């Protein structure tokens, strides 16, 4: 998959993206993301890692259209996007399910917002409900589910929209260590099955290496690209690869870049 | 093992419930019995205190001669009209005050001032403007019931989970869709609380307005019976009002639980 994606068309193209935000204390506009250029090809899984607060979530929110960017452009399928749209779907760190909707109607929420009738939305979502093994839970309320299950509903809600690009914002950060490992494996399996184009943000280096075709390292604030590291591990992958020498070396390589930047910038 | 430890626990909960009901009802019963005894042994002038048995007799009398039904119909009309209009105006007004900052800034102080004004003190004015008929009572009910609704719905809008709005926006929801799929469901429990408070205030409004300046209705009946020393009838009227209030509150509470069933801890099955 890794080699094969090289000659595929570019799905998500980001050029010279600058994102600022208003610092309420000082009243100044601060730069969170500084001239980031990034191309993601169809079916590629790209992960951004960096210290917390480095601006990687802001970057993802800008791509989702939730935050305005000051400069540069974002293209999906070579079409400039401004603001949120159905071609991108976000999985946030918090499951943020609508507590008064049952699981089934939470999964179809995105589709319903796009104007689809309930029955048609359910029909369309059913493929992912099966794939994420949520069938049988459609009539549960979110509070009846564990954190891991809620996050799966969150993922299903995003996939049901069948987006061009799936955006994952530290999707497993709020889960306990065991559930997180299980979810990583499940996402790995899922992505290899559906072949979606994915852009993920995380601060777990092992998670990044396990899941990605490429790992992009962001500097501390303002964020720019420090390194773009290809993960040449064969697919399909198993979580067992975490024990391999190759995996460890990749993790080391990424860690050294992050560490070097933190020392220079005095970022911590 | 687990089951063994769970069973006695749920049994204990049941026992506690039964004990609570027994304690609660025995205090009421004790009160009624001592009241009746106070009357039977003429410990206090019967003219002043009546007795449970005489209240029941009075109740039967006013049902038989139809005066209860007649007055109740008028009071109900006043209440339902005022309450209904309060909902029709209060619900959208509260939502808009909570949803739009500018509307809140514009109307907030005015509404706070209105709310602080004792409505019943305006009754003489309402009688001058609308007469002794049902219109002046409707206005009192409306003004009594509308504020709890406005305030509760305004608060509801401020409790909306920002993460949910974030999600909705990420999926491209329009402002109207955010409102319909997130703000409205969030407001529902607050609406029920508002309805309960409004019902209590509205009921109080009807009775006080009728006692104060009415020609018909339960409040007027109570007032008239009082001024002619028919203590039994006064108590009968009060009993009817209390019963109506309890029924109304119970119904709205049940409705609230039904709409709240997604919230786990108060689930009804």
| Token code pair at residue B73 | 């119909």
Q: Does B168 touch chain A (CB under 8 A)?
A: yes
Please give, rounded to a whole number of angstroms, the shortest distance from the CA of A233 to a CA of chain B: 33
Same domain, B81 and B40: no
Same domain, B7 and B84: no
CATH 3.40.50.300 domain locations along chain A: 4-87+163-265
Give the pLDDT of residue A39.
92
Domain containing B213 equals: 50-263
Is residue A263 within 8 angstroms of chain B, CB to CB?
no
The Cα–Cα gap between A103 and B186 comes to 17
Residue count of chain A, please give it: 268
- Using CB atoms, pick whichever of B164, B172, B188 lies closest to residue A98: B164
pLDDT digit string (tens) for B128-177?
A: 898 888 898 999 999 999 999 999 999 999 899 999 999 999 998 999 99
Q: Which residue of B169, B171, B259, B263 is the best one to mutate when testing the A interface, meaning the one whose CB has the most A CBs within 10 A? A: B171
In B, minimum Cα distance to A140 occurs at B262
CB within 8 Å: A141 and B264: yes
What average pLDDT does the structure give for chain A? 87
Instruction: State how far Cα A182 lies from the chain centre.
Output: 17
Same domain, B54 and B38: no
Do both B80 and B211 map to the same domain? Answer: yes
DSSP SS3 for A218: strand
Q: Which of the four pLDDT bands, split at 50, 70 and 90, describes residue B262?
A: confident
Residues of A in contact with B170 (CB under 8 A): 64-66, 84, 89-90, 92
**All residues at 6 or more sequence positions from A209 whose CB lies less than 8 Å from its CB, including other chains:** A215, A231, A233, A247, A250, A251, A254
> For the domain that residue B54 is a member of, what is the CATH number?
1.10.3720.10
pLDDT, residue B42, reads: 84
> Which of 67-126 (A) contact B at CB < 8 A?
84-86, 89-90, 92, 94, 96, 98-101, 109-110, 112-114
Task: Give the full edge-to-edge strand order of the sheet including A197-202.
Answer: A88-91, A165-169, A197-202, A45-49, A214-218, A225-230
**Short-list B234, B164, B146, CA closest to A96:** B164
The domain total for chain B is 2
Q: Distance between the two ends of chain A, CA-based, in angstroms? A: 37
Rounded CA-CA distance A92/A60 in Å is: 10
Q: Does A148 touch chain B (CB under 8 A)?
A: no
- ipTM confidence score: 0.84
pLDDT, tens digit, for every residue of A108-162?
999 999 888 988 888 888 888 888 888 888 889 999 998 889 999 999 999 898 8
In whole angstroms, give the CA distance from residue A99 to residue A210.
32
Dihedral of alpha carbons B27, B28, B32, B38, sign: positive
Q: Which residues of B touch A113 (CB under 8 A)?
A: 168, 171-173, 177, 181
Q: How close B255 gets to chain A, by Cα (Å)?
A: 15
How many residues are there in chain B? 269
Whole-number percent of chain A with pLDDT over 90: 32
pLDDT of A5:
61
Distance CA A203, CA A47 (A): 10
Whether the CB of B171 is below 8 Å from some CB of chain A: the reply is yes
Handedness of CA B60, B65, B69, B70 (dihedral sign): negative
- Check if B167 contacts A (Cβ < 8 Å): yes
> Quick check: helix, strand or coil at residue B54?
helix
What CATH number does the domain located at A4-87+163-265 have? 3.40.50.300
Phi, psi of B72 (to 5 degrees): -65, -40
Identify whether residues B56 and B162 lie together within a single domain: yes
């Amino acid at each position: 998959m890794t080699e094969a994606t090289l000659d595929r068309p570019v799905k998500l193209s980001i050029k010279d993206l600058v994102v600022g935000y208003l610092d309420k204390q000082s009243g100044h506009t601060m730069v969170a993301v500084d001239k980031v250029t990034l191309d993601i090809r169809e079916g590629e899984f790209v992960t951004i890692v960096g210290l917390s607060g480095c601006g990687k979530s802001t970057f993802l929110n800008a791509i989702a259209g939730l935050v305005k960017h000051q400069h540069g452009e974002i293209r999906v399928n070579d079409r400039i996007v401004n603001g949120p749209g159905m071609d991108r779907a976000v999985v946030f760190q918090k499951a943020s399910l609508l507590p008064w909707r049952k699981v089934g109607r939470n999964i179809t929420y995105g589709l319903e917002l796009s104007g689809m009738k309930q029955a048609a939305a359910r029909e369309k979502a059913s493929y992912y409900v099966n794939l994420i093994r949520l069938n049988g839970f459609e009539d549960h309320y979110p509070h009846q589910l564990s954190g891991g299950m809620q996050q799966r509903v969150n993922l299903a809600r995003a996939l049901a929209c069948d987006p061009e690009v799936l955006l994952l914002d530290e999707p497993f950060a709020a889960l306990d260590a065991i559930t997180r490992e299980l979810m990583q494996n499940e996402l790995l399996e899922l992505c290899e099955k559906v072949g979606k184009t994915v852009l993920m943000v995380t601060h777990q280096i092992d998670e990044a290496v396990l899941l990605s075709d490429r790992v992009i390292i962001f500097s501390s604030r303002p964020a720019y690209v420090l390194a773009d590291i290809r993960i040449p591990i064969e697919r399909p992958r198993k979580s067992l690869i975490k024990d391999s020498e190759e995996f460890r070396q990749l993790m080391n390589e990424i860690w050294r870049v992050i560490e070097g930047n933190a020392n220079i910038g005095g970022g911590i | 093992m687990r089951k063994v430890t769970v069973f006695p626990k749920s049994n204990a909960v049941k026992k506690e419930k039964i004990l609570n009901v027994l304690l609660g009802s025995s205090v009421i019963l004790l009160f009624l019995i001592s009241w009746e005894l106070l009357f039977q042994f003429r410990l206090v002038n019967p003219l002043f205190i009546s007795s449970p048995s005489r209240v029941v007799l009075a109740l039967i009398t006013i049902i038989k001669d139809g005066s209860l039904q007649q007055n109740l119909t008028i009071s109900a009309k006043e209440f339902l009209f005022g309450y209904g209009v309060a909902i029709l105006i209060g619900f959208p007004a509260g939502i808009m005050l909570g949803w739009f900052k500018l509307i809140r800034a514009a109307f907030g102080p005015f509404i706070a001032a209105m709310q602080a004004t004792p409505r019943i003190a305006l009754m003489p004015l309402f009688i001058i403007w609308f007469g002794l008929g049902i219109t002046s009572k409707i206005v009192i009910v409306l003004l009594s019931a509308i504020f709890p609704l406005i305030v509760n719905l305004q608060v509801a809008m401020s409790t909306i989970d920002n993460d949910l709005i974030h999600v909705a926006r990420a999926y491209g929801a329009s402002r109207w869709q955010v409102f319909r799929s997130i703000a409205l469901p969030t407001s529902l429990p607050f609406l029920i609380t508002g309805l309960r408070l409004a019902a209590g205030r509205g009921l109080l409004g009807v009775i006080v307005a009728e006692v104060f300046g009415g020609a018909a209705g339960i409040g007027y009946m109570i007032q008239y019976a009082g001024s002619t020393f028919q203590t039994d009838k006064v108590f009968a009227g009060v009993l009817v009002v209390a019963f109506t209030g309890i029924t109304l509150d119970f119904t709205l509470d049940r409705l609230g639980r039904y709409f709240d069933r997604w919230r786990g801890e108060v689930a009804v099955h």
